[in-house]
Chains A and B, each alone.
Chain A
């Protein structure tokens, strides 16, 4: 629970940090970065808001934690299925036909942006669960 200045600044900074992390995740096959790095950036942006506003603002811990854990398991099932099927689904993803040389277009590389998106989401949810649990225990 910090002062008013810190709270308003965190409110302004959070959308910019989230946008930057989505940029790093989606451009994983063109620039350095990828799934894990973008997920950690998003988790640190959420941690900034959590520190600025205090942990007492989260109403009713148990349903929140249960919902987050179920989202985490669901994202992991989505990642597993997209990992096993991303070669067969390459023809069905529109505008992203994989093989061939490209000069750096965004819509390329088949199922790789899809997989890195799920991994980034999963890393973010896991780290935020750990942060809320360790903060609440005191």
Chain B
């Protein structure tokens, strides 16, 4: 149960960083924190007590029936790559914002109508 409490703490800190900071880069770091916490939660759902890694030639022959579940690991691999792709797009947008407006403060960047 300690695992779930740590993940809850990471989620709360990620939401705090996303809501209460003004710099664009810090907001992007908050989003990355939330994504990492969710990936960790997904992996921890597939743990079997006293289980071995799901590879046939590494686990001893008697424990082939109590291996760790392989499906959450496969889904987490996909989720990590998708998180990487979205963070890359967000960071390149932040670079373009800095080039055009010379500031990264989200309270000074008005809306579209304050041109």
Contact = CB atoms under 8 A, between A and B. Distances in A.
A103 B53 contact: no
Interface in B70-115: 77, 81, 88, 91-92, 95, 99
B92 A104 contact: no
Nearest to B53: A32
Given A36-B77, A137-B99, A103 B57 contact: yes
Contact of B92 (A32, A123, A134): A134
Nearest to B85: A126
7 contacts: A31-B55, A32-B53, A32-B55, A103-B57, A123-B81, A133-B92, A134-B92
> Which 7 A-B pairs have CB atoms at the shortest separation, nearest pair first?
A104-B57, A130-B88, A137-B95, A36-B77, A134-B92, A36-B81, A134-B95
B82 to A, nearest CB: 11
Nearest to B80: A36
A111 B99 CA distance: 47
A113 to B, nearest CB: 16
A133 B99 CA distance: 15
Interface residues of B, number: 10
Interface in A82-132: 103-104, 123, 130
A30 interface: yes
Interface of B is mostly: helix
Chain A contact residues, majority secondary structure: loop
Contacts of B55: 30-32
Interface of A: 30-32, 36, 103-104, 123, 130, 133-134, 137
B68 to A, nearest CB: 12
A133 B53 CA distance: 39
Given A36-B77, A36-B81, A134 B57 contact: no
A36 B91 CA distance: 22
A31 B58 CA distance: 9
A118 to B, nearest CB: 15
A24 to B, nearest CB: 14
Nearest to A34: B77
Contacts of A32: 53, 55
Given A30-B57, A130-B92, A133-B92, 13 more contacts: A31-B55, A32-B53, A32-B55, A36-B77, A36-B81, A103-B57, A104-B57, A123-B81, A130-B88, A134-B91, A134-B92, A134-B95, A137-B95
A94 B32 CA distance: 44
